[in-house]
Amino acid sequence: MIIKDLILSRWIYPLLKNEKVTGFFAFMLIGSCLFAQSGIPELIPVTQTYVLQNVQIVVRPGQIISGGTVIIQDGLIQAAGKDIAIPAHARKIKADSMFVYAGFIAGLSQSGIPRPESAAGATGGRTPGGQGQQRPRVSDPWNPTYEESGITPYVRVRDVFKSDDKSLEEMRKLGFTAAQVYPIGKMLPGQASLVSLGIGKNADELLLKENTALVASFTPASGAFPSTIIGVMSRFRELYKNAIRLQDYQKSYGSNPVNVNRPMADKSLESFFPVLDGKIPFIFQAPDMKSVYRVQALKNELKFGVHYADVKEGYYVGDLLKSEGKPIIISLDLPKAADEKKPVADSSKNAAPKDLEMEALKARTAEELKRLEGQAAKLAALGLPFSFSTVGVKSTDIKETLRRMIKAGLTEDQALAALTTTPAAQLGVSNRFGTVEKGRAANLVVSDKSYFDEKSSVRFVFIDGKIFEYEVKATPKAGANASAGGKAAEAPKVAGKWSYTIKAPGMNTEGILSFSGSGSDLTGEWTSSQVPGTNPISNISVEGNKLSFTSNISMGARQINLDFNLSVDGNSLSGTVGVGTFGTFDVTGAKIDGQ
């Protein structure tokens, strides 16, 4: 949790050293923040040299230096080891006995990539029509444009990346310092790039390595060919073969253009060239087992280099993935166990007879979940290196997911490798990132306990030598909240009726949320201008001022899951709702009957 404003911690905090913040200082600081935000140029920090003393340096998975010293200077690790002289101008970081790791690297992520305004396509080739028009018309069903087809391999991260996106900080505070990100899209969403998750005014300042891979998935287009997996497979083959043709054509035209019509430029096909040349691989998203087989079939047929990505069901295809001989990217999206209803108090007289069939089904469900949790351990045991994808993952779930994987047999060293050395190797940047060694970029995570310990907290993150500081939120002890300083957030009053508006492109949806009860007995339902009737709400959770809940509704034969994440501030609420595969939309609301 960032307690101090970023600017404060980077530039002003060093002046304060460890003194208690006085009211005067606080006033000054607030003032400086305001100035900074209103465009006053950044101040040069007093020192860019930091020292971490008496720390556990996890140089790389399995190699620990106890009681070591790390010196960070001018964006690089100046020294890491024992018996190191400390420069006089270094700021001493209070990290005694803490654990220092190389900054984590997400193997695949969409951090900093905003959702496109239009849900129609990655690059907004079309916008949803006006009122009454239910879906955008395809210009020509026989020949949809590249954009309508979801074929946008020419889109670059630097064109769409938002360096001020809040997702960067969400990842940073977990210890992620770099990520391979790619544009949002469909079958060929665009080119991946490795970006820093630090502070930058624009994408260029954070770009570490451009065009690391061409991303592909089985996501079909809407209303236009290819609208199914089989369409995507066919179109993919066609594009690939025509890219080969165009490259040959351009080469031969380049060497002798006489008496030959010029080849037409084609931004999509030309984007394949680095793959055809073997310079970059495809990152092919294959979350489920069947997709892995499908990617393999395409790869065997067309012979391209591929990194399987977002893999969730590797448990079943470990040997296949291993035989491909390339590191893969597995998903950190791990389903949670189905909510177990509280066991009814055992009044042995009225106990209902056990539903044996349901018991057996539940046992299989639990077994399947174990396999998904055990994927990482199984692949690691096979000796297949992998990194992690955070695509479609709530950042707040990541640490818990890692612990579940470890509980299922993954060792902490293997988990660390997947967060550091493996992605660095996959991306060809092992000489810059992934280990805590002299000369590497000063991308570090400092955790007060072992990172994988349930009670650990990330206290400092360094990115390119810049420090981000996090304080541990004091956990109020039960029954002692009176003395906790009065600042402990009081649970917001959720019960009552709220009006809300969901803002989706081209259409706002309005309705009423109703909650009753309190604490763990909170129940709710909602109505909407889009969905007839009243819909039940489940999984209600209130933490601090955060209110989250889900609702499952049927649209015809289809079940759509709504995932609300809201902040309650007195009588107003705001936040987002995830709507199945449609995307995530902003929600605002206000209380209409105070309780």
Partner 1 sequence: MFKILNIFNLLFLVSFAQAQVTKGSLLIKNGTILTVTKGNMENADLLVENGKITKMGKGLVAPAGTQTIDATGKFIMPGIIDAHSHIGIDVVNEASRPSTADVWVGDALDPLDLSIYRALAGGVTASHAMHGSANAVGGECETIKHRYGTLNPEEMRMEGAPRTIKFALGENPMRVHGEGNRIVPATRMGVEQIFRKGFEDAKAYMAAWDLYEKEKVKNPAALKPVYNKRHETMAEILKGNIIIHCHSYRSDEILMLLNVCKDYQIKRLVFQHTNEGFKVAPELAAYGAMASVFADWWAYKFEVYYSTAYNAAILTKNGVVTSINSDSEEYIRHLYHEAAKTQRYGSLSDEEALALITINPAKQLGIDQRVGSLEIGKDADIAIFDGHPLSIYAVPQFTIVDGVVRFNRSKDTADQRLRASATRAETGFFLHKEQHNHDRCLEGAFENTATFFGLERE
Site for partner 1 in 184-203 (CB under 8 A): 186
Considering only residues 127, 242, 247, 584, which one is a binding residue for partner 1 as defined by CB under 8 A?
A: 242
User: Is 342 near partner 1 (CB under 8 A)?
Assistant: no
Burial class for 567, CB neighbours closer than 10 Å (0-12, 13-18, 19+): middle
Considering only residues 89, 303, 438, 473, which one is a binding residue for partner 1 as defined by CB under 8 A?
A: 303
- What DSSP assignment string belongs to 514-557? EEES-GGG-EEEEEESSS-S-EEEEEEEEETTEEEEEEEEEETT
Instruction: Please provide the size of the chain in residues.
Output: 595
Considering only residues 19, 357, 454, 593, which one is a binding residue for partner 1 as defined by CB under 8 A?
A: 357
- Pick the closest to residue 181 from 155, 200, 147 (CA basis): 155
585 contacts 510 by C-beta, under 8 angstroms: no
User: Is 14 near partner 1 (CB under 8 A)?
Assistant: no
Taking CB under 8 A as the binding criterion, the range among 36-44, 253-261, 480-488, 511-519 that sits at the site for partner 1 is: 253-261
Q: Return the number of the residue (80 or 330) whose C-beta is nearest partner 1.
A: 330
Using CB under 8 A as the binding rule, the residues of this chain from 371 to 400 that contact partner 1 are: 371-372
99 contacts 68 by C-beta, under 8 angstroms: no
Q: Distance (Å, rounded) from C-alpha 473 to C-alpha 471? A: 6
Taking CB under 8 A as the binding criterion, the range among 70-78, 332-340, 430-438, 490-498 that sits at the site for partner 1 is: 332-340
Residue 397 is given by DSSP the state: G
Q: Return the number of the residue (144 or 190) whose C-beta is nearest partner 1.
A: 144
User: Is 134 near partner 1 (CB under 8 A)?
Assistant: yes
Q: Return the number of the residue (64 or 560) whose C-beta is nearest partner 1.
A: 560
User: Is 272 near partner 1 (CB under 8 A)?
Assistant: no
Give least dist CB 373 to partner 1, A.
9
419 contacts 104 by C-beta, under 8 angstroms: yes
Tracing tokens 């984007």 back to the chain, one arrives at 271
Give least dist CB 318 to partner 1, A.
12
Taking CB under 8 A as the binding criterion, the range among 18-26, 42-50, 363-371, 382-390 that sits at the site for partner 1 is: 363-371
Taking CB under 8 A as the binding criterion, the range among 217-225, 393-401, 433-441, 449-457 that sits at the site for partner 1 is: 217-225
Q: Return the number of the residue (271 or 447) whose C-beta is nearest partner 1.
A: 271
Residue 370, CA distances (Å) to 247, 396, 402 in order: 47, 21, 14
Q: Distance (Å, rounded) from C-alpha 15 to C-alpha 381? A: 49
Between CA 509 and CA 520, with CA 514 as vertex, the angle to 5 degrees is 125
* H or E stretch at 585: strand 583-593
Q: Return the number of the residue (92 or 303) whose C-beta is nearest partner 1.
A: 303
Q: Distance (Å, rounded) from C-alpha 254 to C-alpha 21? A: 68
Considering only residues 87, 305, 409, 583, which one is a binding residue for partner 1 as defined by CB under 8 A?
A: 583
- Work out the number of other CB atoms within 10 angstroms of the CB of residue 347: 7
436 contacts 57 by C-beta, under 8 angstroms: yes
Considering only residues 316, 476, 493, 516, which one is a binding residue for partner 1 as defined by CB under 8 A?
A: 316
User: Is 45 near partner 1 (CB under 8 A)?
Assistant: no
Give least dist CB 316 to partner 1, A.
6
Taking CB under 8 A as the binding criterion, the range among 7-15, 329-337, 543-551, 563-571 that sits at the site for partner 1 is: 329-337
Using CB under 8 A as the binding rule, the residues of this chain from 150 to 189 that contact partner 1 are: 186
Q: Return the number of the residue (372 or 436) whose C-beta is nearest partner 1.
A: 372
Considering only residues 173, 505, 516, 546, which one is a binding residue for partner 1 as defined by CB under 8 A?
A: 505
User: Is 267 near partner 1 (CB under 8 A)?
Assistant: no
Q: Return the number of the residue (45 or 505) whose C-beta is nearest partner 1.
A: 505
For residue 43, what are its two tokens?
A: 């101040």
How many chain residues are in contact with partner 1, going by CB under 8 A?
84
Using CB under 8 A as the binding rule, the residues of this chain from 523 to 562 that contact partner 1 are: 530, 555-558, 560
* H or E stretch at 216: strand 207-216
Taking CB under 8 A as the binding criterion, the range among 74-82, 163-171, 195-203, 234-242 that sits at the site for partner 1 is: 234-242
User: Is 293 near partner 1 (CB under 8 A)?
Assistant: yes
Taking the CA of residue 82 as centre, how many other CA atoms within 13 Å lie in the half-sphere pointing to its CB? 5
- Work out the number of other CB atoms within 10 angstroms of the CB of residue 237: 13
